[in-house]
């Protein structure tokens, strides 16, 4: 067996949580391969609406094993809160959640450093979620980080102390004021809690699952345009959010990658700073935000909104080797007379391109739009593909032609049930 992948093709918040939760019904294993508590994945079904941050979105399916892979950076304090919040749903995370011993630990001082670095950047801040993501990945590549497997070692406290002291020197250098006392107590309590879970060699677990014909779905966090190598650098996160991250973040060989599901919204959003060519600063952007309830699932910040960006989507499809597409939040466009799609970027020298420039910040591209007719119909109760309005089908046909890939799922609302498969229609 090979592992399928679901990952975001834009700047995150494409609706990965909803779809992974939905598809988890037919997978034996769901695994997160990167990111950490910067992610906010929303699941909605029956009367439940729930946001997950580090726990994979297969957790509501009792038969599914959920793995937090080695590529993830894990905050034990947030993890404890997440598990506590899940107790009300009578699910069994002690039984079906597995955590890689190789996942890096987010320390309280990583979070402080994140805040100190952002503060020092002034107007050039990234707009980080301030969860300590960047500093933790920094320590990982500097080869001084602490891993989940370390917490059971007898000398863990010494290792912690030594890294904390390094961090404190940096915090002092940045003249950043802090009070560690209460958050440190919380951290050590959360580590004791974490010890009760299955801390495993997840690379073996996942490869053995595939070898015994179990189906595996890798769940991305963030989006391709936030990838540390291919995103709008430096306004990115600190991990590889793209398909290659599945291999390094779970210990899967490239030959073990199966279907790559690329997920995108029918328009675009971005939260935090950084270039966003199709951003709308007018009432149309406000309407997208209002109709799409575009406020961050992790930080509550209003999301920046704009039209769909084909050059960016084509780039993400290429980097990830996407094999099929899923279009989310089509219903948010239900009451637009006209819908714009950016087909090209106009560069400073006047030429047109549908390729991603080296530096979107420097290049200041002007989007060139094609205008399509809206469908002006409430699609939220439609359950069959063939019942979708013709203007929406034209929108889908147009995108499939441009992107040279099938759009196999169209999502028409936040609920699990509001998911339409093309081939069931």
Residues making contact with ligand IMO (CB under 6 A): 8, 11-13, 35, 38-41, 126-129, 131, 133-134, 221-223, 226, 237, 271-272, 297
Q: Is 41 marked active-site?
A: yes
Q: How far is the CB of 395 from ligand IMO (least distance, A)?
A: 23
**Partner whose footprint covers residue 237, from Mg ion, ligand IMO, ligand GDP, none (CB < 5 to 8 Å by kind):** ligand IMO
- Taking the least distance from each CB to ligand IMO, the nearer of 117 and 395 is 117
Q: Name the token pair of 347.
A: 């560069």
Positive or negative torsion for Cα 159, 162, 167, 171: positive
**Partner whose footprint covers residue 44, from Mg ion, ligand IMO, ligand GDP, none (CB < 5 to 8 Å by kind):** ligand GDP
Binding of residue 44 to ligand GDP (CB under 6 A): yes
C-beta of residue 304 within 8 angstroms of C-beta of residue 279? yes
Map the footprint of ligand GDP across residues 353-412, applying CB under 6 A: 411-412
- Please tell me the distance from the alpha carbon of residue 3 to that of residue 5, in angstroms, as a whole number: 6
CA distances for 141 relative to 106, 232, 238, 362, angstroms: 14, 21, 11, 28
C-beta of residue 124 within 8 angstroms of C-beta of residue 92? no
Q: Which of 138, 232, 231, 271 is nearest to 240 (CA)?
A: 231
Candidate segments 63-71, 146-154, 256-264, 290-298, binder of Mg ion by CB under 5 A: 290-298
Site string for ligand GDP, 312-351 (x = CB under 6 A): ----------------xx-xx-------------------
Q: How far is the CB of 215 from ligand IMO (least distance, A)?
A: 22
Instruction: Tell me how many degrees the CA angle 233-234-240 measures, rounded to the nearest 5.
Output: 60
Active-site residue, selected from the candidate residues 4, 21, 28, 41:
41
Show Cβ contacts of residue 364 under 8 Å, excluding neighbours closer than 6 positions.
348
Q: How far is the CB of 54 from ligand GDP (least distance, A)?
A: 13
Q: Which of 52, 104, 102, 112 is nearest to 73 (CA)?
A: 104
H-type alpha helices, 256-359: 283-291, 310-320
Q: How far is the CB of 209 from ligand GDP (least distance, A)?
A: 23
For the chain, the distance separating the N- and C-terminal CA atoms, rounded to the nearest angstrom, is 28
Query: Omega of the bond prior to 7 within 30 degrees of 0, cis?
Result: no
Binding of residue 129 to ligand GDP (CB under 6 A): no
Q: How far is the CB of 303 from ligand GDP (least distance, A)?
A: 9
Q: Which of 229, 249, 248, 266 is nearest to 358 (CA)?
A: 229
- Taking the least distance from each CB to Mg ion, the nearer of 13 and 82 is 13
- Taking the least distance from each CB to Mg ion, the nearer of 57 and 64 is 57
- Please tell me the distance from the alpha carbon of residue 177 to that of residue 159, in angstroms, as a whole number: 23
Greatest alpha-carbon pair distance for the chain in Å reads 65
- Please tell me the distance from the alpha carbon of residue 213 to that of residue 215, in angstroms, as a whole number: 6
Binding of residue 13 to ligand GDP (CB under 6 A): yes
Positive or negative torsion for Cα 14, 16, 18, 22: positive
**Partner whose footprint covers residue 108, from ligand GDP, ligand IMO, Mg ion, none (CB < 5 to 8 Å by kind):** none
- Taking the least distance from each CB to ligand IMO, the nearer of 271 and 407 is 271
Site string for ligand GDP, 48-87 (x = CB under 6 A): ----------------------------------------
- Please tell me the distance from the alpha carbon of residue 17 to that of residue 406, in angstroms, as a whole number: 21
C-beta of residue 114 within 8 angstroms of C-beta of residue 132? yes
**Partner whose footprint covers residue 145, from ligand GDP, Mg ion, ligand IMO, none (CB < 5 to 8 Å by kind):** none
Binding of residue 303 to ligand GDP (CB under 6 A): no
Give bridge partners of residue 31 from the DSSP assignment. Answer: 67, 218
- Taking the least distance from each CB to Mg ion, the nearer of 63 and 293 is 293
**Partner whose footprint covers residue 97, from Mg ion, ligand IMO, ligand GDP, none (CB < 5 to 8 Å by kind):** none
Query: For binding to Mg ion (CB under 5 A), which residues are involved?
Result: 13, 40, 297
Catalogue the active-site residues: 13, 41
Which residues contact ligand GDP by CB under 6 A?
A: 8, 12-18, 40-42, 44, 293, 297, 328-329, 331-332, 411-414
């Amino acid at each position: 067996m090979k592992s399928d992948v679901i990952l975001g093709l834009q700047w995150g918040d494409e609706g990965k949580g909803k779809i992974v939760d939905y598809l988890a019904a037919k997978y034996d294993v769901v695994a997160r391969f990167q990111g950490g508590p910067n992610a906010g994945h929303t699941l909605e079904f029956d009367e439940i609406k729930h946001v997950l941050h580090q726990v994979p979105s297969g957790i509501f399916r009792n038969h599914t094993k959920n793995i937090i892979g080695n590529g993830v950076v894990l905050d034990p304090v947030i993890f404890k809160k997440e598990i506590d919040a899940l107790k009300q749903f009578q699910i069994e995370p002690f039984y079906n959640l597995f955590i890689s011993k190789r996942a890096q630990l987010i320390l309280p001082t990583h979070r402080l450093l994140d805040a100190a670095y952002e503060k020092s950047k002034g107007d050039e801040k990234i707009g980080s979620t301030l969860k300590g993501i960047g500093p933790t990945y920094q320590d990982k590549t500097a080869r001084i980080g602490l891993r989940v497997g370390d917490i059971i070692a007898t000398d863990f406290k010494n290792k912690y102390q030594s890294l904390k002291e390094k961090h404190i020197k940096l915090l002092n250098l940045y003249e950043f004021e802090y009070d560690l006392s209460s958050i440190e107590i919380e951290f050590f309590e959360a580590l004791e809690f974490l010890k009760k879970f299955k801390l495993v060699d997840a690379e073996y677990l996942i490869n053995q699952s595939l070898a015994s014909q179990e189906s595996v779905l890798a769940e991305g966090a963030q989006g391709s345009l936030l990838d540390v190598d291919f995103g709008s650098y430096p306004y990115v996160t600190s991990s590889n959010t793209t398909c290659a991250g599945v291999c390094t973040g779970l210990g899967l060989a490239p030959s073990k990658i199966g279907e790559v599901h690329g997920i995108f919204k029918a328009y675009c959003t971005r939260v935090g700073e950084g270039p966003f060519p199709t951003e709308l600063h007018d009432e149309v952007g406000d309407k997208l935000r209002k109709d799409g309830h575009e406020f961050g699932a992790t930080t509550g910040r209003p999301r920046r909104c704009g039209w769909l960006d084909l050059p960016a989507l084509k780039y993400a499809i290429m980097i990830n080797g996407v094999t099929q597409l899923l279009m989310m939040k089509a219903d948010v466009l239900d009451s637009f007379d006209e819908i714009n799609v950016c087909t090209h970027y106009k560069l400073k020298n006047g030429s047109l391109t549908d390729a991603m420039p080296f530096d979107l910040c420097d290049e200041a591209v002007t989007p060139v739009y094609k205008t399509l007719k809206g469908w002006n119909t409430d699609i939220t109760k439609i359950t069959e593909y063939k019942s979708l309005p013709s203007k929406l089908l034209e929108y889908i046909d147009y995108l499939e032609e441009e992107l040279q890939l099938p759009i196999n799922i169209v999502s028409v609302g936040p609920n699990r049930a509001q998911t339409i498969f093309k081939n069931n229609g």
